[in-house]
Amino acid sequence: MSLRPAWLTFRRYAAATTAVTLTLVSLGVYTAATGSGLACQAQWPLCSDQLIPALTINPDFIEWFHRVWAMGTGFMIIGLAAWSWLGDRERRVRLAATAAVAILPLQITVGAVTVTVGGLVPGGYTVSTHAAHLLVALTIFTLLGLATLWAFLDERAVTATHLRRALGLGVGGLLVAALLSRAVPLLTYSPGAQGWFYAAGLLAHLGLLSAVVLTPHAAVRDAVARRTRGLAGAALALLFLTLLLGRDLVLYTATWRLINQVALVGAVVGAVAALLVVRRGSGTADHAADAESGTPTSDD
């Protein structure tokens, strides 16, 4: 008899692991932006000579909480890879989950370096370790998203509705991220704003990635699928650039701000255009199906 509850399917566990990882990335950005990564007296895994610091909102606690969340996330990722093999999932699902585990030690190592050796460098973190930490985190998040989407394909048929929901998530996440982005001077790019910017941006990333992966399998016309996938893929690439520019990985001059603004606008336009293509394409397909079956439409 299985101890696993009936509602806990592999796909749901993969989705939960992806969501927890999204939270971890946003929390990590907030921790870095507040300077809390320099807390804990540059110690790791201890924090100011303690296993558990004072449970009040202070730099030590923020850094410690980030580490605890990261540890729990790591175990969930390992569990996902183990389940993919023990459950005899599709090969691409196993590879994505296993790749996430394979680069997990690199992320842990870079994180430890960032808050120890990197934290001792005059001026704060080094750009190289900061960049590596973010890039590896985005890679792990993308791999988990792929594992979830491929598991979905194993269980469900893809419809135009699924594509509309995925692209809707992409557009919505992009619009929220745009309000919080350093490219749009509407709000102060505070540590809190940075954390929420990455939360919204990663939701948009997941929505656009879903459109790219699911479109070839959707019940839509080939021309609609090609245009949708191309637009969503372009928007995803531009969004990835804005996520990188959201951190201090380059000297953020006026030129880089302009590049960030162009990339952000391009991502929004691409995502909206992809959504419109699916809406119009699926509407045309439904109309044609009704006409073929003799079902009256509103135009009749």
For the segment 63-117, what is each residue's pLDDT rounded down to a tens digit? 889 999 999 999 999 999 999 999 878 999 999 999 999 999 988 888 777 777 6
| Residues 22 and 152 occupy one common structural domain | yes
| Residues 116 and 251 occupy one common structural domain | no
What DSSP line would sit under 197-233, residue for residue? HHHHHHHHHHHHHHHHHHGGGBSS-HHHHHHHHHHHH
Which tokens go with 91?
A: 């090969």
Which tokens go with 190?
A: 């505070």
Which tokens go with 184?
A: 């749009």
Which tokens go with 79?
A: 């569990």
135, 156, 177 — which closes off a domain?
156
Report residue 50: phi and psi, to 5°.
Answer: -125, 150
- Lowest mean pLDDT: which of 1-5, 18-22, 66-70, 226-230? 1-5
- Lowest mean pLDDT: which of 145-154, 192-201, 241-250? 241-250
Q: In whole angstroms, what is the distance from residue 22 CA to residue 192 CA? A: 15
Instruction: Give me the helices (H) in 116-190, please.
Output: 117-120, 127-155, 160-180
Its domain, for residue 104, covers 1-156
CATH of the domain at 177: 1.20.120
| Residues 151 and 2 occupy one common structural domain | yes
Mean pLDDT of all residues in 19-44: 86
| Residues 38 and 104 occupy one common structural domain | yes
Q: According to the model, what pLDDT value does residue 291 have? A: 41
| Residues 54 and 124 occupy one common structural domain | yes
| Residues 194 and 280 occupy one common structural domain | yes
Query: Which tens digit of pLDDT belongs to each residue from 203-214?
Result: 999 999 999 999
pLDDT at 189 over 70: yes
156, 180, 197 — which closes off a domain?
156
156, 181, 211 — which closes off a domain?
156
| Residues 102 and 64 occupy one common structural domain | yes
Q: According to the model, what pLDDT value does residue 300 have? A: 33
Q: According to the model, what pLDDT value does residue 48 have? A: 80
pTM of the model: 0.87
| Chain CA centroid to CA 57, Å | 27
Q: In whole angstroms, what is the distance from residue 268 CA to residue 21 CA? A: 24
| Residues 162 and 146 occupy one common structural domain | no
pLDDT at 121 over 70: no
| Residues 151 and 244 occupy one common structural domain | no
| Residues 17 and 50 occupy one common structural domain | yes
Mean pLDDT of all residues in 281-299: 48
Residue 186 CB: number of other CB atoms within 10 A?
Answer: 9
Query: Which tens digit of pLDDT belongs to each residue from 134-150?
Result: 899 999 999 999 999 99
Which tokens go with 286?
A: 């439904």
Q: According to the model, what pLDDT value does residue 200 have? A: 97
Q: In whole angstroms, what is the distance from residue 297 CA to residue 97 CA? A: 46
| Residues 150 and 167 occupy one common structural domain | no
Phi/psi-derived region of residue 296, left when phi > 0, alpha when psi is between -120 and 50, beta in every other case: beta
pLDDT at 124 over 70: no
pLDDT at 195 over 50: yes
- How many domains is the chain partitioned into structurally? 2
| Residues 130 and 185 occupy one common structural domain | no
Report residue 187: phi and psi, to 5°.
Answer: -125, 155
pLDDT at 298 over 90: no
